[in-house]
Amino acid sequence: MSKNEVKEFLVSRRARVTPDQVGLPVFTDDRRVPGLRRQEVATLAGLSTDYYTRLERGAIQGASESVLSAISGALLLSDVEREHLFDLARRVPVVPKPSASAASTQRVRPSVQRMLDNLAVPGVVQNQRHDLLASNLMGRALYSPHFEMNGQPNTARFIFLDPRARDYFADWPLARRMTAAMLRLSAGRDPLDEDLTALIGELATRSPQFRQDWADHDVHEHTTGRKVFNHPVVGPLEVTFDGFEMPGEPGLLLVTYTVDEGTASAERLAVLSSWAATQEFSTTR
């Protein structure tokens, strides 16, 4: 665990909470930092300023659940941010061990592929590194630009490294921020995933936008919502996505995409289905 990672996360969360949000008086003439001061966080959490300062500087390993919960409350952390703080506190220095299955060889069970193939809506299976490990025909069609990249299709690489992503995602800056925040959450949950660490390093080296979004220290769990794809074949598609954890497959998520009936997106999805039927591509990699 990097002490800087703990420090940067807590400092970034502290800077986002204003005194009035937590019922503290504001003396504008002597405030030199955005958000809360360390002593204010300590007071809200029922800790000494010295102890909180040591925690914020990275000495968080071994902190009790009650202390971490108190800090989470003082900083108004979301459930996902609270989980990330606990993940940071649980980390212990260990010798990294090779991943059980590298991204390039990871596969889903044949029964999962059969289930995908029998869905009436686009579906994909992805891991915590955002590799698209499997899809049905419609899922492959929906994500067709991703599958045109060299190697394992990966939504994070597409978003940050492929210039087509700026057009494919109607809100590309939001897609970027959410992806960086999801990768940070995954890194906190599994710091020994060497493939994930390598992906983050690759993106940080090759993408200024990733470095900018990563520096925000946001964490996010993205399991349901709406998004708009500007598909190169059929145009704008407003879809609702739902992610489902897969029993017996830790770290894998089944994601389905649906559209509201009677909408332009429903018509375009039907056109996409017809187009997909004419294409000669397999549903798996």
Residues 191-232 pLDDT 10s: 888 999 999 999 999 999 999 999 999 999 888 999 999 999
| Same domain as 269, residue 141 | yes
Candidates 249, 266, 221; CA nearest to 113 is 249
Say which CATH number the domain at 215 has: 3.30.450.180
pTM of the model: 0.79
Domain shared by 156 and 114, yes or no: yes
Determine the Cα–Cα distance for residues 264 and 248; give it in Å rounded to an integer: 38
Mean of all residue pLDDT scores within the chain = 88
Q: Are residues 65 and 168 in the same domain?
A: no
Q: What angle in degrees, to the nearest 10, is found between the helix axes of 38-45 and 65-74?
A: 120
pLDDT digits (tens, 9 = 90+) for 73-130: 999 999 999 989 988 888 644 444 444 334 445 788 899 999 999 999 999 999 999 9
Q: Would you state the pLDDT for residue 104? A: 45
The answer as to whether 105 is a domain residue is: no
Q: Is residue 101 part of a domain?
A: no
* Domain membership flag for residue 219: yes
Domain count, the chain: 2
Q: Is 63 helix (H, G, I), strand (E, B) or coil?
A: coil
Residues 153 and 78 in one domain: no
Within a domain: 96: no
* Residue-range definition of the domain harbouring residue 38: 3-90
285 within a domain of the structure (yes/no): no
Domain boundary among the residues 90, 119, 140 is at 90
Secondary-structure percent of the chain, ordered helix, strand, coil, rounded to 5: 50, 15, 40
Contact 37, 24 (CB under 8 A): no
Same domain, residue pair 127 and 228 = yes
Query: What pLDDT was estimated at residue 100?
Result: 38
